[in-house]
Amino acid sequence: MKKKNFTSTALHSDREGKPEHGVLHKPIHTSVAFAYEDARELAEVFQNKRKGYAYGRQNNPTIEALAQKITKLEQGLASVIFATGMAAISSTLLSLLRQGDHIVSSAYLFGNTNSLFNTFKELGIEVSFVDATDVENVSAAIQDNTKLVFVETIANPVTQVADLEAIGALCSDKDLIYFVDNTMTSPWLFSPITVQASLVINSLTKYIGGHGTSIGGVIVDSGKFDWAANKDRFPVLSEPDPSYHGVVYTDALGPAAYIGRCRVVPLRNTGAALSPMNAFQILQGLETLGLRMERHCENAEKLAAYLQQHEKVKWVNYAALPDSPYFTNCKNITNSKASGILSFGVSGGIEACTRFIDSLEMILRLVNIGDAKSLACHPASTTHRQLNEEELVSAGVSADLIRISVGIEHIDDIIADVSQALDKT
Ligand SMILES: *Cc1c(COP(=O)(O)O)cnc(C)c1O
Of 114, 106, 198, 118, nearest in space to 153 by CA? 106
Q: How far is CA 153 from the centre of its chain?
A: 9
User: What is the sign of the dihedral through the CA atoms of 15, 16, 20 and 21?
Assistant: positive
Note whether 396 and 331 are within 8 A (CB).
Answer: no
Pair 306, 281 in one domain: no
Q: What local confidence, expressed as pLDDT, does residue 414 receive?
A: 98
Ligand 1 geometric centre to CA of 384 (Å): 13
Asked, for residue 302, whether it belongs to a domain, the answer is yes
Q: Is residue 96 in contact with ligand 1, taking CB distance under 6 Å?
A: no
Ligand 1 geometric centre to CA of 206 (Å): 7
Q: What local confidence, expressed as pLDDT, does residue 277 receive?
A: 97
Asked, for residue 199, whether it belongs to a domain, the answer is yes
Structural domain range at position 141: 6-285
**272-310: string of b/e by CB count within 10 Å (b at 16+)?**
bbbbbebbbbbbebbbbbbebbebbbebbbebbebbeee
Domain count, the chain: 2
Q: In whole angstroms, how far apart are CA 272 and each of 58, 90, 279, 392?
A: 9, 10, 13, 31
- Please identify, by atom number, the ligand 1 atom nearest to the C-alpha of residue 89: 10
AA identity, residue 141:
A
Ligand 1 geometric centre to CA of 85 (Å): 5
Q: What local confidence, expressed as pLDDT, does residue 1 receive?
A: 41
Residue ending a domain, choose from 241, 263, 285: 285
**pTM of the full structure:** 0.95
CA distance 315 to 26: 46
Ligand 1 geometric centre to CA of 86 (Å): 6
Asked, for residue 73, whether it belongs to a domain, the answer is yes
Q: What local confidence, expressed as pLDDT, does residue 301 receive?
A: 98
Pair 268, 301 in one domain: no
Residue ending a domain, choose from 285, 309, 344: 285
Pair 272, 303 in one domain: no
- E strand or H helix at 315: strand 313-317
Pair 35, 165 in one domain: yes
CATH of the domain at 363: 3.90.1150.10
Residue ending a domain, choose from 223, 258, 285: 285
Asked, for residue 265, whether it belongs to a domain, the answer is yes
Q: Is residue 379 in contact with ligand 1, taking CB distance under 6 Å?
A: no
Q: What local confidence, expressed as pLDDT, does residue 92 receive?
A: 92
Neighbours of 324 (CB within 10 A): 20
Q: Is residue 371 in contact with ligand 1, taking CB distance under 6 Å?
A: no
Ligand 1 geometric centre to CA of 64 (Å): 21
Neighbours of 258 (CB within 10 A): 28
Q: Which of 82, 206, 278 to mutate to test the pocket of ligand 1 (most atoms within 8 A of CB)?
A: 206
Asked, for residue 1, whether it belongs to a domain, the answer is no
- E strand or H helix at 337: none
Asked, for residue 399, whether it belongs to a domain, the answer is yes
Pair 96, 209 in one domain: yes
Q: Is residue 183 in contact with ligand 1, taking CB distance under 6 Å?
A: yes
Ligand 1 geometric centre to CA of 310 (Å): 31
Pair 189, 255 in one domain: yes
Asked, for residue 58, whether it belongs to a domain, the answer is yes
Q: Is residue 202 in contact with ligand 1, taking CB distance under 6 Å?
A: no
Asked, for residue 273, whether it belongs to a domain, the answer is yes
Q: What local confidence, expressed as pLDDT, does residue 190 receive?
A: 97
Q: What local confidence, expressed as pLDDT, does residue 179 receive?
A: 98
Q: Which of 183, 213, 274, 377 to mutate to test the pocket of ligand 1 (most atoms within 8 A of CB)?
A: 183
Q: Is residue 206 in contact with ligand 1, taking CB distance under 6 Å?
A: yes
H helices of 263-348, in order, are 268-270, 276-286, 289-308, 327-334
Residues 6+ positions from 339 with CB-CB distance below 8 Å: 154, 184, 185, 186, 189, 207, 293, 296, 297, 300
pLDDT tens across the length of the chain (425 residues): 444 489 999 998 877 777 889 899 899 999 999 999 999 999 888 877 888 999 999 999 999 999 999 999 999 999 999 999 999 999 999 889 999 999 999 999 998 999 999 999 999 999 999 999 999 999 999 999 999 999 999 999 999 999 999 999 999 999 999 999 999 999 999 999 999 999 999 999 999 999 999 999 999 999 999 988 888 888 888 888 887 778 888 887 878 888 888 888 889 889 999 999 999 999 999 999 999 999 999 999 999 999 999 999 999 999 999 999 999 999 999 989 999 999 999 999 888 999 999 999 999 999 999 999 999 999 888 877 777 878 787 778 888 899 999 999 999 999 999 999 999 99
CA distance 283 to 325: 36
Pair 174, 45 in one domain: yes
Pair 29, 110 in one domain: yes
Pair 242, 310 in one domain: no
Q: What local confidence, expressed as pLDDT, does residue 193 receive?
A: 97
Ligand 1 geometric centre to CA of 36 (Å): 37
Pair 129, 266 in one domain: yes
CATH of the domain at 172: 3.40.640.10
Backbone angles phi, psi at 188, to 5 degrees: -70, -40
Pair 252, 299 in one domain: no
Q: Which of 90, 108, 112 to mutate to test the pocket of ligand 1 (most atoms within 8 A of CB)?
A: 112
CA distance 219 to 89: 8
Pair 25, 65 in one domain: yes
